[in-house]
Amino acid sequence: MSLKSLYVTHDGPVVKVCFNTPENGNAITDRVLDDLLAVLGAVHDRPDIRVVVFSAAGENFCTGGDRREYGEQLAMDPSGTGLRTTGGKARRVCDALATTNAVTIARLHGQVIGAGLALALFCDLRVGADDCRFRLPELALGLPTAWGGSLSRLLQEAGAARIRELILTGSGFDAAQAERLSVLHRVVPEAELDRVVEEWTRPVIRRSASALRVTKTLLNAYAAGNRLADTSLLDAELMASVIAGRSDHS
């Protein structure tokens, strides 16, 4: 597997995926999405893999989507076809994260913004360094909160009232608030992140593969049952339409 944006290691039942473009804040580009789809597809085909851990090189976990790439795509096709394609990939990545039989863990540090927060939310377990900072900047950038189906996931995990405030104001929030919102399950000093990941991983890899698979299926089925009015299938179309519309009026 040839990966340009991720560093992946495989140790028995555990796969570790490290975002590896710190020079751009580990921004989510088309290449990152392609690499994530390749990795998650390989995990899907390996029932012996029990845990997938996501982390990042550099100072930040992820500073969000790559706005420069969005601009380049729009310049090539003002109708927004490229943006729709990228949005479709984002949705497939988030669906793959949500439905994989492996337990997914997000190991977070630094800034976790926009698309980076969305990816973390689709992981089963999330631990963050105590100096983490989170933000949902889309509305302030003139965009809808529509990336990979993240809004429905965010509302489900954290609750509508507080998320409404964070989206409408664009306010950042820290690790302690993220824990109160259930965006994070645990908050620890950065030096202890690996300890928590290991603490979660150790019991999971001892579980029956079939029991783990069925349990994940049940959890996913319950989540789906509570998303009957979910409009996130339209996210790629909404994002592309808004960006293309802004270009038409610029």
Of residues 191, 55, 200, 171, the one with CA closest to residue 130? 191
Residue 102 resides in a domain: yes
In a domain, 59, yes or no: yes
| CA distances for 81 relative to 150, 184, 218, angstroms | 21, 35, 36
Percent of the chain exceeding pLDDT 70 equals: 82
More confident residue, 104 or 156: 104
Q: Is 190 helix (H, G, I), strand (E, B) or coil?
A: helix
How many domains are contained in the chain?
1
Q: Is residue 193 part of a domain?
A: yes
In a domain, 1, yes or no: no
- Provide the domain limits for residue 103: 6-211+213-248
Q: Does residue 234 register a pLDDT over 90?
A: no
> Would you say the pTM of this structure is higher than 0.95?
no
CATH number of domain containing 20: 3.90.226.10
